[in-house]
């Protein structure tokens, strides 16, 4: 005979999650924000194309509606070939970084974690710079800079491989007795990143006239956005996002600690590995197409947590939507400011805002100890 | 200097302009420092080593990039003291379209009709176009372009070394002249090519290369007679210089591109600048082919007999006196003999366009003043 | 309610030994050979000196640790044959202390206790919500449901932890020194609540306690762990004799009686 719960007649049903209204407001608001940001970012740029023309072009290309004669081919090309892929890339990157940042902050139980923290940035940077420099050092590899394999240059491929490979290495090194303690993961990531960063600096020193290109990549930029890059990145990001969003329960449980989470039925080590790998997959994909854009993965989870609470059920999808909107807007700002790297814009806007929020809020520490 | 300091060099660079003064690499994308454990290093080790000051940084880097121009893998240094190689005059008087050309990066570019709307992404390309009397066909230039004066009225599609693709598209070009070797970012070239524009990348690594580029552009825009004429006069002047310095003893010449917080930058080994100095009758002291830096002790050991201050043209703090006062420099022959020459117009020395022969003449006059009164 | 007729064995520990691997490669023996049987409805207090292996035994009972020798069975099957999730639906642990993440309401935290039973991808079921409500009510924390974790006092936090464990709707409840950080009033109230819950819900309870008198007052059965073995197991009056206390704990105590007849152990002068 199994034990049964005897709920006294007076106990009301208690809601253990966000109400439907809250979900609609947060996610619906996020979706609206994303759509608005997309339209605004596509409509505005250094060359003036009216909103009406913009909508007409989008409707024509996406829905097949006829194009008014007043729209010039140049404008059409600007909207559809230059701006739209860039805005979509910004949204994909922003969403990916926001999500990965949220996952890492919970996984590592560290509010200062960002998607790059366990080595993705250092590894991807080394890969990308090696890709940039390879055609110089080994002329036979000149395919990297010029043509590319299915639109992906040597730089993208090596950046992706570098990011993913580094995290695999860090994970393997951190494993002891079949367990991967979170602190070990962090410290190993730090150590490996330092070594790789030294390698990057060395390559930069010998890069000569390519220093500019390297620097531009490191700052992170969406200027090179292409439809073909999107074609590769989008499926990877959608899949990893979907697989991460459904793991919200595990992330909530991990906040309780490894022991209690295991007692509640979570396969802690396996979950940590899945989360790390999926988040790293998303991050590496993003870095491969846009370089290392900072700040989004750190700030978006925090701001959202302060605004809607730490329950990952809502936090994960929200981080995708609001991260996407944020970067689309930041990239618009970067374009209008003369084509500066978008990472500078996110830092300039994000840092003061974040400081203000921290001062306002009490919810700084992730846990309350007994 | 009468003008406010701004970069007058070519070609457009993609590095320094993005850095705010004092910005350090990745850190500008990061949050302000905290002491919350654990420390992160994602790239704090990656910094632009010298603290850079715009715009002398700009100018310095641009000159640096030029000085580092490497010959392509074929390796011919073009450093012969022979009279400059002359390009064969084009056989046809008119170009036939559609026309497929191979540019300096080896890409095959097809031009379907005689271009009437040209966009140039580098000042040297602009000068070539204008030297071929096609200045009126320019509808997009860079903000560094300063010669001839009439290009100031043309829309800038490259601002601060950043190519604004939207503006390029808005200019509706039928020919785009880019700079090779990564000076126009490859991603931009890919993007423009992907949008359907013919993009010719020019990247001369020696004087012969400049002649070839003039020829190439002439063929591209159906201006071969003008190109031939230009080449004839340029080659004649270059030959005259070569002849004049033929017998003279070449002094050990150090061309100072920039000195930054202990690092000295000069013409890289086997670079365009080194080749030019050689042609002008000097024996260039060169730096590392990749970084163009030279260690002070190596410079002292090389003992230049003549120092040309290329950076004095854009940095007013660099003078013969300030150079002589530098620690360790006093022992050099050039300093003790007072053979320190300010290069007034370094643009012509470093911009690989039609006026490069002017630059050759400037160098020759500085190296052998007695031969060029 | 006594489980007089129910003698179904819930958990069985047979000949279990466990040693912790040390950094220098050696192993530290903690449990040498432990035999312990819990029938359904049992209420057992586990006492012993520091380092005698009490917490280790608890972790072996949840399956987090695997015994070096011997076997732990639950509902007749060795733990190794159990899926982690199935076991979590039946066994709950009330830990010594738990870091409660900031920003969650108590209801949401208790809702985490429903994780092993989760059926739907994003939403909770009605059964979940009723279980949470019941757990909160039974733990006396219903009024705390909308409060945030960081606002709670120590005693309130303790009640939330109890609710979280109850939300799992377990058959076996393991308590790991739950009274360690509590004052006397809260100790008594917590243990009283556990006893009541065991009666109400038909739980089986094993509580690791350090206070012998509290153990005696709380549980009808006490097991004493010493040097990796269970050296005594039975009613507290028999088990907690001054003789055993001197042998195991090295302290001389005397039996005493309270005015209403309850037996307790009195310390001689310190």
Q: Under CATH, what is the fold of the domain B1-21+50-81+246-373?
A: Rossmann fold (3.40.50)
Whether residue A92 has pLDDT greater than 60: yes
3-state secondary structure of A276: helix
Asked whether residue C1 is assigned to any structural domain, the reply reads no
C2/B215: higher pLDDT: B215
Nearest to A218 among B25, B172, B186 (CB): B25
Instruction: Give the Cα separation of C103 and A157 in Å (integer).
Output: 40
Contacts of B164 in chain A (CB under 8 A): 46, 339
How far is CA B164 from its chain centroid? Answer: 21
pLDDT at B73 over 60: no
CB contact under 8 A, C133 and A263: no
Q: Which CATH class is domain B99-241?
A: alpha beta
Nearest chain A residue to C202 by CA: give it.
Answer: A3
In the predicted model, what is the mean pLDDT of chain A? Answer: 85
In a domain, C219, yes or no: yes
Candidates A207, A122, A114; CA nearest to A159 is: A122
Residue pLDDT, tens place only, C121-170: 888 888 899 999 999 988 888 999 999 988 898 888 888 999 999 999 99
Question: Is there a shared CATH topology between the B1-21+50-81+246-373 domain and the B99-241 domain?
Answer: yes
* DSSP state string for C202-220: T-EEEEE-S-HHHHHHH-S
Distance between CA atoms of residues B260 and B130, nearest Å: 35
Token couple for B21 = 């003064």
Report pLDDT for C172: 94
B96: CB partners within 8 A, 6+ apart: none
| Portion of chain A with pLDDT greater than 70, in percent | 88
Mean pLDDT of A63-68: 84
| Per-residue confidence band for B223, with pLDDT thresholds at 50, 70 and 90 | very high
**A118-128 average pLDDT score:** 92
Q: Do A226 and B291 touch (CB under 8 A)?
A: no
| Domain count for chain C | 2
Chain C segment 209-268 residues within 8 A of A by beta carbon are: none
Residue B303, pLDDT > 70, answer yes
DSSP run (H or E) holding C16: strand C9-21
pLDDT of res. C173: 95
Report which DSSP code applies to A141: G
pLDDT score of B155 more than 90: yes
Residue C48 Rama label (left phi>0; alpha psi -120 to 50; beta): left
Q: What are phi and psi of B341, to 5 degrees?
A: -115, 130
* Domain presence at residue C36: yes
Residue C142 sits in which domain range? Answer: 100-169
Note the pLDDT of residue B17: 36
* The last residue of a domain, from among C123, C151, C169: C169
Residues C37-72 pLDDT 10s: 999 999 999 999 887 889 899 999 998 888 999 999
- Region B158-172 average pLDDT: 91
What integer pLDDT is reported at residue B276 of this predicted model?
A: 94
8 A C-beta contact, residue C104 and residue C148? yes
Residue C111, helix vs strand vs coil? helix
pLDDT digits (tens, 9 = 90+) for B306-354: 999 999 888 888 999 999 988 888 889 999 999 999 998 888 888 999 9
Per CB-CB distance under 8 Å, the chain B contacts of A148 are: 190
Assess whether pLDDT exceeds 80 at residue A8.
Answer: no
The answer to whether position C109 is within a domain reads yes
pTM of the model: 0.79
- pLDDT of C30 over the 50 cut: yes
What distance in Å separates the CA atoms of residue B320 and residue B300, rounded to the nearest whole number?
17
Phi, psi (degrees; rounded to nearest 5) at B279: -65, -30
- Residues B43-54: tens digit of each pLDDT: 333 333 333 344
pLDDT for the residue B63: 54
Higher pLDDT, C92 or B186: C92
Burial B331-342 (b: 16+ CB within 10 A, else e): ebebbeeebbbb
Say if the Cβ atoms of C154 and A256 lie within 8 Å: no
Kindly tell me whether chain C and chain B come into contact, counting contact as 3+ Cβ pairs under 8 Å. Answer: no
User: C6, exposed or middle or buried, with CB in 10 Å at 0-12, 13-18, 19+?
Assistant: middle
A257: contact with C, CB 8 A cutoff: yes
Length of chain B: 373
Pick B248 or B36 by higher pLDDT: B248
Q: What is the pLDDT of residues A147-156, one digit of tens each?
A: 455 556 778 8
CA distance A343 to A359: 24
Q: What is the pLDDT of residue C169?
A: 92
CA-nearest of C215, C247, C256, C251 to C234 is: C215
Same domain, C208 and C262: yes
Q: Which of C115, C138, C169 is the last residue before a domain boundary?
A: C169
Q: Would you state the structure tokens that stand for residue A125, as one six-digit string?
A: 């940077």
Establish if C115 touches chain A: CB-CB under 8 angstroms: yes
Per-residue pLDDT tens digits for A239-275: 999 999 999 999 999 999 888 999 999 999 999 999 9
- Residue C263, pLDDT above cutoff 70: yes
Q: Tens digits of per-residue pLDDT, A13-42?
A: 678 888 889 999 999 999 999 999 998 999
Same domain, C83 and C177: yes
Which residue does chain B place closest to A108, by CA atoms?
Answer: B38
* Domain end marker among C169, C196, C221: C169
CA distances to A110, A171, B180 from A186, in Å: 9, 10, 42
Q: Which residue has the tokens 């007795």?
A: A177
Q: Which of A197, A208, A344 sits opposite B43 (nearest CB)?
A: A197
**Which of the given ranges, A220-229, A358-367, B144-153, has the highest pLDDT on average?**
B144-153
Please state the rounded mean pLDDT for residues B68-72: 44
Cβ-proximal residues to C13 (8 Å cutoff; 6+ apart), any chain: C34, C35, C36, C37, C57, C60, C61, C70, C72, C73
Look at residue B232 in the predicted model and tell me its pLDDT: 96
CATH class, range A92-360? mainly alpha
Subunit partners of chain C (3 or more CB pairs within 8 A) = A
Let me know whether C15 and C43 are in one domain. yes
Query: Which residue ranges make up each domain of chain B?
Result: 1-21+50-81+246-373, 99-241
Rounded-to-integer distance, Cα B193 and Cα B45, Å: 36
Interface of C with A in 120-159 (CB under 8 A): 121-124, 126, 128-138, 142, 145, 149-150, 154, 157
**Two structure tokens written together for B348:** 């012509």
Kindly report the nearest CA distance between residue B106 and chain A, in angstroms. Answer: 10
C103 and A310 Cβ atoms separated by less than 8 Å: yes
Beta carbons of C228 and C52 less than 8 angstroms apart: yes
**A351 chain-B contacts, CB cut-off 8 A:** 31-32
User: According to the 3-state scheme, what is the secondary structure of chain B?
Assistant: CCCCCCCCCCCCCCCHHHCCCCCCHHHHHCCCCCCCCCCCCCCCCCCCCCCCCCCHHHHHHHHHHHHCCCCCCCCCCCCCCCCCCCCCCCCCCCCCCCEEEECCCCCEEEECCCCCCEEECCHHHHHHHHHCCCHHHEEEEECCCCCCHHHHHCCEEEECCEECHHHHHHCCCCEEEEECCCCCCHHHHHHHHHCCCCEEEECCCCHHHHHHHHHHHHHHCCCHHHHHHHHHHHHHHHHHHHHHHCCCCCCEEEEECEEECCEEECCECCCHHHHHHHHCCCEECCECCCCCEECHHHHHHHCCCEEEECHHHCCCCCCHHHHHCCCCCCCCHHHHCCCEEECCCHHHHHCCCCCHHHHHHHHHHHHCCCCCC
- How many residues does this entry show for chain C? 270
Higher pLDDT, A297 or B30: A297
From A292, A339, A336, select the one nearest B17 (Cα to Cα).
A339
Dist CA C222 CA C234 (whole Å): 5
Res. B28 pLDDT band, cuts 50 70 90: very low
- Mean pLDDT computed over B166-194: 90
Residues of C (70-109) whose Cβ lies below 8 Å from A = 84-85, 87-89, 91-93, 95, 97-104, 107-108
- Name every chain A residue with its beta carbon within 8 A of the beta carbon of B31: 295, 298-299, 347, 350-351, 354
Mean pLDDT over A76-100 rounds to 93
Residue with structure tokens 């020459």? B341
Asked if C64 reaches chain A (Cβ–Cβ under 8 Å), the answer is: yes
Q: Which is nearest to A199 in space by CA: A209, A212, A186, A214?
A: A214
Looking at the fold, whether C85 and C211 belong to one and the same domain comes out as yes
Six-digit token string for A9: 């007649």
């Amino acid at each position: 005979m199994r034990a049964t719960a005897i709920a006294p007649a007076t106990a009301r049903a208690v809601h253990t999650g966000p109400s439907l209204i809250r979900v609609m407001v947060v996610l619906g608001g996020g979706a609206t924000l994303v759509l608005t940001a997309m339209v605004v970012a596509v409509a505005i740029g250094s060359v003036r194309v009216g909103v009406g023309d913009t909508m007409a072009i989008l409707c024509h290309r996406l829905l097949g509606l006829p194009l008014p004669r007043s729209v010039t081919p140049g404008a059409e090309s600007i909207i559809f070939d230059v701006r739209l892929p860039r805005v979509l890339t910004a949204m994909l990157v922003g969403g990916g970084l926001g999500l990965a940042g949220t996952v890492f902050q919970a996984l590592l139980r560290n509010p200062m974690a960002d998607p790059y923290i366990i080595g993705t940035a250092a590894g991807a940077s080394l890969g990308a710079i090696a890709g940039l420099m390879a055609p110089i050092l080994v002329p036979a590899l000149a395919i990297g800079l010029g043509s590319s394999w299915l639109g992906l240059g040597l730089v993208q491929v090596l950046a992706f491989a570098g990011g993913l490979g580094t995290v695999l290495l860090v994970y393997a090194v951190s494993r002891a007795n079949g367990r991967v303690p979170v602190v070990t993961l962090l410290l190993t990531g730090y150590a490996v990143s330092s070594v790789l960063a030294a390698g990057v600096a060395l390559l930069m020193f010998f890069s000569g006239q390519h220093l500019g290109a390297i620097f531009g990549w490191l700052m992170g930029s969406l200027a090179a956005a292409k439809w073909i890059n999107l074609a590769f990145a989008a499926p990877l990001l959608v899949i990893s996002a979907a697989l991460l969003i459904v793991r919200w329960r595990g992330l909530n449980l991990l906040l309780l600690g490894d022991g209690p989470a295991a007692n509640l039925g979570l396969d802690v080590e396996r979950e940590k590995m899945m989360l790390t790998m999926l988040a790293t997959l998303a991050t590496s994909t993003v870095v491969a197409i846009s370089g290392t854009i900072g700040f989004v993965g750190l700030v978006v989870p925090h701001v959202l947590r302060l605004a809607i609470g730490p329950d990952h059920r809502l936090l994960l999808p929200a981080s995708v939507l609001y991260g996407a909107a944020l970067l689309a807007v930041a990239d618009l700002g970067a374009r209008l400011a003369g084509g500066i790297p978008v990472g500078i814009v996110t830092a300039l806007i994000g840092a003061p805002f974040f400081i203000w929020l921290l001062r306002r809020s009490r919810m700084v520490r992730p846990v309350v100890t007994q | 200097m009468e003008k406010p300091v701004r970069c007058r060099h070519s070609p457009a660079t993609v590095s320094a302009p993005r850095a705010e003064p004092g910005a350090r690499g990745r850190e500008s994308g990061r949050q302000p420092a905290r002491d919350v454990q654990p420390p992160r290093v994602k790239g704090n080790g990656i910094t632009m080593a010298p603290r850079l000051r715009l715009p002398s940084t700009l100018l310095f880097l641009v000159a640096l990039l030029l000085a580092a121009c490497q010959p392509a893998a074929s390796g011919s240094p073009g450093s012969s003291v022979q009279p400059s190689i002359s390009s064969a005059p084009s056989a046809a008087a008119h170009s036939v379209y559609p026309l497929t050309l191979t540019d300096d990066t080896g890409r095959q570019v097809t031009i379907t009709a005689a271009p009437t709307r040209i966009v140039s992404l580098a000042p040297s390309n602009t000068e070539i176009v204008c030297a071929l009397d096609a200045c009126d066909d320019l509808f997009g230039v860079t903000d560094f372009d300063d010669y001839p004066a009439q290009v100031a009225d043309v829309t800038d599609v490259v601002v601060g070394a950043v190519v604004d693709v939207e503006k390029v598209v808005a200019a509706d070009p039928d020919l785009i002249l880019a700079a090779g070797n990564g000076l126009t970012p490859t991603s931009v070239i890919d993007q423009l090519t992907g949008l359907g524009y013919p993009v010719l990348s020019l990247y001369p690594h020696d004087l012969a290369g400049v002649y070839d580029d003039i020829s190439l552009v002439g063929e591209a825009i159906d201006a071969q007679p003008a190109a031939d004429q230009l080449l004839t006069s340029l080659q004649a002047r270059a030959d005259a210089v070569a002849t004049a310095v033929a017998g003279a003893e070449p002094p050990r010449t150090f061309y100072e591109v920039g000195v930054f917080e202990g690092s000295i930058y000069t013409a890289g080994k086997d670079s365009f600048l080194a080749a030019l100095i050689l042609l002008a009758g000097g024996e260039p002291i060169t730096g590392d082919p990749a970084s163009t830096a030279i260690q002070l002790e190596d410079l002292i050991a090389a003992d230049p007999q003549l120092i040309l201050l290329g950076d004095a043209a854009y940095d007013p703090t660099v003078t013969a006196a300030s150079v002589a006062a530098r620690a360790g420099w006093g022992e050099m022959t050039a300093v003790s003999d007072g053979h320190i020459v300010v290069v007034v117009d370094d643009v012509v020395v470093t911009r690989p366009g039609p006026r490069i022969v002017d630059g050759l003449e400037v160098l020759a006059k500085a190296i052998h003043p007695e031969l060029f009164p | 309610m006594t489980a007089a007729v129910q003698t179904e064995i819930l958990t069985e520990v047979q000949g279990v030994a466990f040693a912790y691997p040390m950094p220098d490669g050696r192993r530290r023996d903690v449990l040498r050979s432990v035999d312990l049987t819990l029938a359904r409805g049992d209420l057992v207090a586990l006492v012993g000196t520091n380092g005698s292996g009490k917490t280790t035994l608890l972790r072996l009972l949840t399956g987090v640790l695997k015994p070096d020798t011997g076997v732990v069975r639950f509902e007749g099957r060795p733990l190794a044959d159990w899926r982690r999730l199935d076991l979590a639906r039946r066994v709950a642990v009330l830990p010594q202390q738990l870091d409660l993440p900031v920003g969650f309401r108590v209801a949401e935290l208790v809702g985490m206790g429903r994780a092993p039973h989760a059926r739907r991808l994003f939403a909770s079921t009605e059964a979940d919500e009723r279980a949470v409500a019941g757990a909160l009510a039974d733990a006396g924390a219903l009024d705390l449901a909308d409060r945030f974790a960081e606002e709670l006092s120590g005693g309130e936090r303790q009640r939330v932890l109890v609710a979280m464990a109850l939300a799992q709707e377990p058959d076996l409840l393991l308590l790991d020194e739950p009274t360690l950080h509590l004052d006397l009033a809260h100790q008594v109230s917590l243990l009283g609540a556990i006893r009541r819950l065991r009666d109400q819900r038909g739980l089986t309870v094993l509580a690791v306690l350090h206070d012998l008198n509290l153990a005696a007052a709380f549980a009808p059965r006490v097991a004493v762990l010493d040097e990796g073995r269970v050296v005594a197991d039975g009613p507290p009056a028999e088990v907690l004799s001054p003789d055993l206390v001197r042998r195991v704990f090295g302290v001389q105590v005397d039996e005493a009686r309270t005015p209403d007849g309850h037996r307790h152990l009195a310390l001689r002068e310190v």
